[in-house]
Structure 1
């Protein structure tokens, strides 16, 4: 396990995130790293935007898009210590359920 992944897991444990949330957040960051082709700690704000466009082009559901936004904001703000880094990530409105 990479030190960066371990740090993210520890950050989530400190905040008492549930096991499913931890699993989902780690999966999103790993997918983001695969998309980038390099370590996610070297990402730029434009990379986050391109990743969101990639998810939208794949037809990702609003839930999946919003999960990615939450996970990447946590990763950037807490794990990387870059508070303003994920600010420009856009959440997706979900349709109302009956």
Structure 2
């Protein structure tokens, strides 16, 4: 009940062109004192973009192409289509060169 709204808010900021993922994460760090690994887009990379997309797609608002949520799902699909599915793939919103598969 806490994590999904956090992901929705973060992805919609990026998908609607308000700012980029790095800015969202940096603002979260500064505003909350969170560790850099505890930011929205680093967490999305950790859980995997396929799982995140599947969860966000279940919301009825994701069916309306004009909604911020539909734009978030489309953005995640773009990353997934490029093979950028998160830490396990070595890249999502960020690159993970030292990750051992």
Q: Give your verdict on TM over 0.5.
A: no
TM-score range, shorter chain: 0.3 to 0.5
TM-score by length of 2: 0.38
Bigger RCO of structures 1 and 2 (CA < 8 A, at least 6 apart): 1
TM-score by length of 1: 0.39
